[in-house]
Chains A and B, each alone.
Chain A
Amino acid sequence: GENVEQHPSTLSVQEGDSAVIKCTYSDSASNYFPWYKQELGKGPQLIIDIRSNVGEKKDQRIAVTLNKTAKHFSLHITETQPEDSAVYFCAARAPGGATNKLIFGTGTLLAVQP
């Protein structure tokens, strides 16, 4: 089955700097890659996603890139702000079957220092 690895596990940046989180997946058939932000005690919130037919997607300060050949995708946050501090999870979905379940990475704790 699908396996998703995520790095780094923790990331500390200064306010205004950029942050990059990287994930790799194992199933070449995976076709959907969302990124979630989770604040303490809350459920994950979708911040951006990308499908396998697209190489890059941007939404204001957030961007995601996908390299299907290398089977990795990355989250880029520019001009970080203290409110960006949270745990970020990547995920991958392998098609097929009736479930289309998401497999999550191990998470990255992002701390933005004011």
Chain B
Amino acid sequence: GAVVSQHPSWVICKSGTSVKIECRSLDFQATTMFWYRQFPKQSLMLMATSNEGSKATYEQGVEKDKFLINHASLTLSTLTVTSAHPEDSSFYICSARGGSNYGYTFGSGTRLTVV
């Protein structure tokens, strides 16, 4: 079945630094990738959607200059949290989709803690 690999699984960074999270589709070409943020005991909130080779589409209220998304290939998307602050601490999850016949496969998530 479809597999999405997300790394790192957890990261701790200092306030003001940047952190990059990678999401790879291992056995299919992901034409569309989605990035979610999940706070404790809450649902998944969509941050942005990216199609390979195009600029990401951000949801209302998500700062595009803070959360940089790159989807340069059909198997890799990255989310960079720039100038991280403690309030950015959260669980970030990617999802990939590879066409109309494919469902949405989720990565294992990245726990970001900003200290």
Contacts and interface: CB of A to CB of B under 8 A. Distances in A.
Contact of A89 (B43, B103, B105): B43
B109 A42 contact: yes
A67 interface: no
B49 interface: yes
**How many B residues are at the interface, by size bracket?**
20 to 34
Interface string B35-74: 0000000111110010100000100000000000000000
Given A42-B109, A43-B106, A106 B43 contact: yes
A43 B107 contact: yes
Question: Interface size class for chain A?
Answer: 20 to 34
Contacts of A98: 32, 51, 57
Interface string A29-47: 0000010100001111110
Interface of A: 34, 36, 41-46, 49, 89, 98-107
Interface of B: 6, 32, 34, 42-46, 49, 51, 57, 91, 93, 95, 97, 103-109, 111
